[in-house]
Amino acid sequence: MRKHLTVLSVFLLCVSLCSELSAASSRKKYFSKPQIGLWYGPITPLFETNEHLDPNLGGGGFFRYNLPYAPLKIGLESSYQYYDSEGVAEMRLIPVYTNLLWLIPIDLPIRFQLKAGAGLCKVRVEPDDINQWDPMFMAGTEISFPAGKIANIALRLDYLCVYEEHLKGATQNGHFFNAGISLYFNLNL
């Protein structure tokens, strides 16, 4: 019985994908609209930052607007990220950045976007009691597909670098990886 259900599920998925392929042109239209959305998922420190902070779950929101050149969009993003540690140290990040998104021109039912951006990151550290803004850079990718006419679902993978090496005495930057499932909506602006 279980085997039959699995075969049926795969079949329905294939049918669904085929029907999505036939609707590729209409999806392209959706992509050309401004979008607003939310994401939620695992966040983790990388490299040397990983030695001091533990992974957690985080989330954020974003807004994207079209540019005259169709495969490109500009986005404004922010999120809230809280990292605990083995000890009493804890860090809160609020990255605020703009990024440029490039839709890879491959006409598939699933869309691939690459993105890169820069901005500022609010960094709060306890018990050191440090609260400041640092410059930051990001790069990432997003795999998305439409879920109806107004909604889209995506898997996003972002790398964030909170840059501090320009500061006196600094030997390290902050490195973070954000993965998340996002839900975003097409706007008729």
Q: What residues make contact with other proteins under the rule CB under 8 A? A: 34, 48-49, 51-53, 65, 67-68, 74, 76, 85-89, 91, 96-98, 118-120, 123, 125-135, 162, 164, 167-174, 189
Q: Give 117 or 140: the residue with its C-beta nearer to other proteins.
A: 117
Q: Give 106 or 189: the residue with its C-beta nearer to other proteins.
A: 189
Asked if residues 103 and 76 have their Cβ atoms less than 8 Å apart, the reply is no
Q: Give 48 or 107: the residue with its C-beta nearer to other proteins.
A: 48
Distance CA 183, CA 108 (A): 19
Q: And the tokens for 97? A: 């950045």
Burial of 8 (C-beta count, 10 Å sphere; 0-12/13-18/19+): exposed
* Cβ at position 165, least distance to other proteins in Å: 8
Q: Give 94 or 125: the residue with its C-beta nearer to other proteins.
A: 125
Instruction: Give residue 189's identity as a one-letter amino acid code.
Output: L
* Cβ at position 157, least distance to other proteins in Å: 22
* Cβ at position 169, least distance to other proteins in Å: 6
Residue in 121, 113, 55 with CA at minimum distance from that of residue 85: 55
Give the DSSP letter string of 89-146.
-EEEEEEEEEEEEEE-----SSEEEEEEEEEEEEEEEETTTEEEEEEEEEEEEEEEEE
Residue 168 DSSP class: T
Strands 35-45, 151-162: pairing is unpaired
Q: And the tokens for 166? A: 């320009």
Q: Give 21 or 170: the residue with its C-beta nearer to other proteins.
A: 170
* Cβ at position 134, least distance to other proteins in Å: 5
* Cβ at position 177, least distance to other proteins in Å: 15
